[in-house]
Structures are given as structure tokens and as C-alpha cells.
Amino acid sequence: MKEPLVLASSSPFRRMLMENAGLAFEAMPAAIDERALEQEFNQTPTSPSQIALLLARAKALDVSARQPGAIVIGSDQTMSLGDRVFHKPKSREDARDTLMALSGKMHQLNSGLCLARDQHILWEGVSSARLHVRELSPPFIESYLDRVGDKVMSSVGAYQLEGEGVQLFSAIEGDYFTILGLPMLPLLEALRNLGAIDG
């Protein structure tokens, strides 16, 4: 009898990726304050990829305390431009500012993953992707924001690569699943190694 899998997330994108991979799991969001934890982590020098991993770990450990015996999958993503970490825009103005900051530059998406059982970490890792945004003119940004509407506030970079956001880029280096926020290939390998899914 394999241990049940629990995804410590309310993200519809992460649930969709797990379902599409044929995994049987439950979803249960973690009861943590991500921004407060991030401030705590930043008391000491912490890279954006470390923050993604620490948040993934916090989610996995929180949910594993409520799901005894289950393998809990915690995942979190940060978006960074140099040392600057971005969050989901709260308004159209925030989204515009984000797109102007990213215009003509390369930014990084860091997806942290942690597997835990009974509050013990079984495996963890970080996958990163580098995304090159082309030069964006202010009129293009305004028309993009008009077309995308409120969806722009559901993603950290004010874009969804699987939608119109693909128009923002000149090049992408990295795994598609990492960009969507759940690095499926390392996750599946870790689950196979733990005997949680068939190999």
C-alpha cells in the first residue's frame, strides 16, 4: 500500500499539472503567512532561490503535521531580477511597473520543491528558468494590459506563459514545468525513488 500524496497548495495550475501526470492526490493549502516568512528569511542574506525552497519546506511541513503518514508536496516560486524579488501585482499600475522593470532584461523563476512525511523532510530541491523579455514599448504594455485584464494579477510577473504572456519574450532557458511553478520531472523522479509511485 503506497502512502497517500497530498499537494500543499491551492494553486489550480499545480493541481492541473499533477492531474495531467496521472497522479492520485489530495490538495490541502498550507496555513502559513508567506510574506511574513519571507521577511523573516530576509533577516539574513538569502537568495531568491533559497527563499523559494524555504517557503516550499514551510508548506510541506505545515500540511504534513495535519496529514499523518502522507507524503506532502510543498512547492513555491520566486521571481527575481538580480537581487530584487517580485510578487503578484496588486493593481494594473503594479503590473505596468513590473513589465517596465522586466523590459529588455533577463529574469529568473525559481521553483522550490519539498517532500515531507510526518514533519520530516524526505527530499528537496530547486529548479530555475531564465526568461528574456524583449524591449516592450509603453503602448504595447497598455494594450497587453487591456487584453489580459484582471488575469494579469494572478501571476507574479504579470504574465502567463501559456496565454498572451508568451508575446513578451525573446528567449526562454529552462523547463516549462518549472516556469508554471511545479518542476514535474524532478518531482516524479523523487516520488519514484521513494516508492510513492510506480517506477
Q: The domain spanning residue 70 has which CATH number? A: 3.90.950.10
* pLDDT one digit per residue (tens) for the chain, 199 residues: 688 999 999 888 899 999 999 999 999 999 988 888 888 887 888 899 999 999 999 999 999 999 999 999 999 999 999 888 998 999 999 999 999 999 999 999 999 999 999 999 999 999 999 999 999 999 999 999 999 999 999 888 999 888 899 999 999 999 989 998 899 999 999 999 999 999 8
Contact of 168 with 99, CB cutoff 8 Å: yes
Q: What is the pLDDT of residue 50?
A: 93
- The CB density around residue 18, as the number of other CB atoms within 10 Å, is 20
- Residue-level pLDDT at 106: 98
Q: Would 52 be classed as within a structural domain?
A: yes
* 108 three-class SS: strand
199 within a domain of the structure (yes/no): no
Q: Give me the catalytic one of 33, 76, 97, 150.
A: 76
**Closest C-alpha among 83, 93, 176, 164 to residue 129:** 176
Q: Is residue 134 a contact partner of residue 157, using CB atoms and an 8 Å limit? A: no
**d(C-alpha 4, C-alpha 34), whole Å:** 25
The predicted pLDDT at position 39 comes to 81
For residues 53 and 110, give the distance between their C-alpha atoms in angstroms, rounded to a whole number: 9
Residue 163 included in any domain: yes
The predicted structure's pLDDT at residue 169: 97
**What is the DSSP secondary structure assignment for residue 35, as one 8-state letter?**
H
Count of domains for the chain: 1
Q: Is 83 a catalytic residue?
A: no
In a domain, 170, yes or no: yes
Q: What is the pLDDT of residue 34?
A: 83
Q: Identify whether 112 is part of a domain.
A: yes
The owner of cell 497522479 is: 23
Residue 95: predicted pLDDT: 96
Flag whether 180 is in a domain: yes
Please state, in angstroms and rounded to a whole number, the distance separating the CA atoms of residues 199 and 191: 9
The answer to whether residue 77 sits within a structural domain is yes
Enclosing domain of residue 59: 5-193
How many Å apart are CA 40 and CA 129, to the nearest integer?
A: 25
Question: Considering Cα of 141, then 145, then 151, then 153, what sign does the dihedral take?
Answer: positive
